[in-house]
Amino acid sequence: MPVLDQSYVTNGSWKPDLFKGKVVFITGGAGSICSVQAEALVLLGADAAIVGRSKEKTDKAAKDIATLRSGAKVLSLPEIDVRSVQSLKKAVDKTVEELGRIDFVIAGAAGNFLADFNHLSSNAFKSVVDIDLLGSFNTVKACFEQLRKNKGSIIFVSATLHYYGVPFQIHVGAAKAGVDALSNALAIELGPLGIRSNCIAPGPIAETEGMDRLSRGKLDEIKHKVPLQRLGTKQDIADATVYLFSPAGSYVTGDVLVVDGGSWQVSQGVGAADYPVSIVKYLNAPKGGKL
């Protein structure tokens, strides 16, 4: 079921039809955060292409999102591997064929799991980098002609993990640091073409798969460590997305918009107090990751 509904338009901060005639191409579009980004854009008039690996999840997300606005066109593009630029190119071609154009790109496909260095294999590390970083590059590469033609805008879904050392997230932190660098370079290179590139870095966002993994059942404790004294919502990320794609963000590029309630300024990671004992335990475990 969608998280947002028509009240997002009638009671929200954004005017109706803000994105009328626009099309968003979003990888990881069936995910807990990216699907809500898509919901907001569709409610505000955009059509959308939902790109994912799982046919069942991608089809369901597209079907649910299409119910949010009368006349909305939401295309399901399942079984797409962001590690393959050719796979993405097929998805782009299908989007242009069905929806006519691409104005906005959200690179949100990501892989994550908890693993300490001792038990993290080289292949597992590479897998996350390939999905998060190479997949982000491939997404923009496949969409580039449409972005150039329509003076489009890109948002990469990043993280704050690489702002400090977060154990058990070496692979993700390295990949997301690369995503930030990629976005910054694209902002400079593509700016003269009228293309903007930015990142959104979510902090502790409630009811997401990542938060469920990292919190280890200590949501109340985590909430009280956030300066704003609450966990983020998926709508918080959706609102940041709308801002960056809207005319209000037309002079913003090469930026990382951190949406975390101030968490990274005061925290050393979710559940950081437990890490020293856990690190010693796992690093001393006899079975390490495969080379």
pLDDT tens digits for 61-87? 999 999 999 999 999 999 999 999 999
Average pLDDT across the chain, whole number: 91
Q: Out of 158, 197, 215, 263, which one is annotated catalytic?
A: 158
pLDDT confidence of 99, banded at 50, 70, 90?
very high
Report the interhelical angle of 135-150 vs 170-190 (nearest 10°).
20
d(CA 268, CA 180): 19
Please state the rounded mean pLDDT for residues 130-148: 98
Is the pLDDT at 281 greater than 90? The verdict is no
Cα separation, 142 vs 162, in Å, equals 27
Whether the pLDDT of residue 280 is over 80: the answer is no
Tokens 């969608």 -> residue: 2
The tokens 């704050």 sit on which residue? 160
pLDDT of residue 128: 97
Please, are residues 110 and 199 in contact by the beta-carbon 8 Å criterion?
no
- Dist. CA 172–CA 151, nearest whole Å: 30
Identify whether 176 is a catalytic site residue: yes
Residue 198's DSSP bridge partners are 155
User: What pLDDT does residue 271 have?
Assistant: 47
pTM of the model: 0.91
* 267: annotated active-site residue: no
- Percentage, residues of the chain above pLDDT 70: 89
Quote the tokens at residue 29: 């579009």
Active-site residue, selected from the candidate residues 176, 183, 234, 267: 176
CA–CA separation, 43 vs 36, rounded Å? 10
Enumerate domains of the chain plus CATH numbers.
Answer: 7-261+268-283 (3.40.50.720)
